[in-house]
Amino acid sequence: MKALLLLLALAGLVSAEPERIPVWPGNEAPDGEGGSTPATTTLTLHRAEKPNGAAAIICPGGGYGALVTEGEGHGIARWLNTQGITGLVLEYRLPQGKRMVPLLDAQRAIRLARSHAKEWQIDPERLGIIGFSAGGHLASTAATRFDGGKAGDKDPVERFGSRPDFAILVYPVITMTELTHGGSRTNLLGPEPSKELMEEFSSDQRVTAQTPPTFLAHAKDDTAVVPRNSELFAAALKKHRVAVEYLELPDGGHGLNGYKGPSWDAWQAASLKWLDGLGMMKVKTAASSKVVAATDPQVLAGISPLNWIRTAEGIHSPVCGADFKLAFVGTKRVVLNVDTSRLNYPASARFPILAWSVNKGELQTHQLAAGEREIVLADGVANPVIDFYIKGLSPFEDRFHGEVPVNAVSITGFTVAAGCRVTVPPVAPLWLNLGDSILSGDGAAYAKDQGRPADDQWAASDDARASYGYLLAKHYGYRESRLAFGGYAWGGGGGNNPDVAGLVDRITSTSSRLTDGRLVPCPQVVLVNLGENGAPKSETVVAALGKLRERTSPQTKIVVMVPVSGRARNEVSGAVKSYVDGNKDAGVHLIDLGAVKFDTADGQHPTAAGHEAIYKAALPFFDKLLK
């Protein structure tokens, strides 16, 4: 008999027995509050006889006070198995005063499944989450609160991302406000949660463009968890342009007639069709790669505004500090494709230095070299979010003439997995910096009293994000962009750039920076700090401020800072006053920090610590202006 069973199993006629697997190593699991609780969480693996690679973590309901593990757990896994989908039933810890533990369990389960993808015959890029009732709340929370993995973590499971690739929510609890299921809220958040806590755990208020595609089903006559819950989540997904399908069922109440009948069958059939439409049901061949062009609309949406040149070949920037932030969903490897053929630096040490972080991890740097074409930005990290910027750039070469200046950084695209899609993390309002060496981060990487960088060492001495202009923008919740750096003045210079009035209009000598006569997107704050490299003529400052006002909006705050060294104090102050008085422009502000002590590398250029000191000295002035 044993021999017969073995033969049947080998022939695929007998399903493998479910495997119950601990989710956390050891006897304790984190509680999200700095402590721990007993590690009771398990994941039961139901293997399909003919797996197609798709898989789903299944979160049973039970009001966060119990778990309905059969009808909303193992029964669902067995149904998924008939469709070739691997089912993973999550028996998560109940809150019992620790509101974060269910989410931590769900995130860990997703990471664990990805870490065992080969062994469990699942595609780590087709791993979703399914939830019912309070389990639907947990699934929706996991779909809106995730990360791309913790690169370098000593626990290899934690290096995998926790974002599900799809979500299926059946009669889910979504909101924790007045439309919620009272028992679920009490069990999760306590008897009298604050408004802020209820909003934090209302999944519809946490949807972003990165939330995975979602299918929802809810009966019209559900009085335990009213269908408005699903409607709120569907509306939030549509607002953020996330793929969503909402199936309103005519009847069945909560639990859909005890997991049977026409409404139960309807959501199952509709969700399978929806999954097939997403490409989740198709058996994939060996993974291949593709190139996402730098001209792809999603890439263009993620680059810093106003300081990248766009051509048919790619994107190019001659500005230290130009950046992009992009999420690469469905890949573990991202290779930056660059074109260095234009670079014409007299020494290799003058080539631009690039910097980036992956999933908010450690900063990595790389100096471009002649003939270089590819730079690996991420490898072995699921769904990496890459925050990239030009860290160092020599100030001596021409950065203005021609359609693409010869010494601009040129990016042609990204090599990623074939199934990858590029998305843009939420973008903050724009803060525009326009300044010379004192503002831009020139010399910031040097130590106190190290001395003026040699001509060939300026790129290595720079750190654009150490600059106090960047720190101020970040502090007030803005996205920073900049128009000039290094050796620049009101009247021009610094890479042969024209005066400010000309630079506002033109990104290069032949390319306009404007869209329909305006800077788009329009900055809410413009910070100008010029004069360190030469006292300006009053008419030059007046023309520059007039052009900035013309190209922005009446609501844009234009802030002119007197150079912190005190150079050109009288000239800059007098010119700003002349403009404001002559134009009655109450949106232009002059800030003079007075005497500020800060560390420099050479008596002029602030070190990183020097920029930090200037930033802190400026905060009281900007608090009055911006708060």
Note the pLDDT tens digit of each residue in 287-331.
578 999 999 999 999 999 999 999 999 999 999 999 999 999 999
Q: Check residue 9 and give its pLDDT.
A: 42
φ, ψ of residue 509 in degrees (nearest 5): -65, -20
Mean pLDDT on 132-152: 90
Q: Using alpha carbons, select from 119, 122, 38, 63 the residue that is nearest to residue 87.
A: 122
Instruction: Please give the model's pTM, rounded to 2 decimal places.
Output: 0.58
Residue 10 predicted with pLDDT over 60: no
Give tens-digit pLDDT for 545-596: 999 999 999 999 999 999 888 889 999 999 999 999 999 999 999 999 998 9
For residue 586, the 8-state DSSP code is T
Evaluate whether 16-278 and 285-427 have a shared fold. no
Q: Using alpha carbons, select from 238, 267, 239, 263 the residue that is nearest to residue 253.
A: 263
φ, ψ of residue 244 in degrees (nearest 5): -150, 145
- Cβ-Cβ contacts under 8 Å for 539 (sequence gap 6 or more): none
Mean pLDDT on 328-344: 91
pLDDT level of residue 125 (50, 70, 90 thresholds): confident
Query: Which of 242-256, 363-377, 391-405 tops mean pLDDT?
Result: 242-256
The count of other CB atoms within 10 Å of the CB of residue 214 is 29
CATH 3.30.70.270 fits 16-278, yes or no: no
Give tens-digit pLDDT for 448-461: 999 999 999 999 99
Q: Check residue 1 and give its pLDDT.
A: 44
Residue 471 predicted with pLDDT over 60: yes
Mean pLDDT on 349-353: 94
Start-end of H helices in 23-160: 75-82, 101-115, 117-120, 134-144
Mean pLDDT on 339-357: 91
Q: What is the mean pLDDT of the chain?
A: 92
Residue 513 predicted with pLDDT over 70: yes
Q: In this structure, which topology does domain 428-627 adopt according to CATH?
A: Rossmann fold (3.40.50)
Q: Which CATH superfamily is domain 285-427 in?
A: Galactose-binding domain-like (2.60.120.260)
Helices and strands of the chain, counted as H and E runs: 18, 28
Domain ranges of the chain: 16-278, 285-427, 428-627
Give tens-digit pLDDT for 180-218: 998 999 999 999 999 999 999 999 999 988 899 999 999
The helix/strand/coil state of 303 is strand
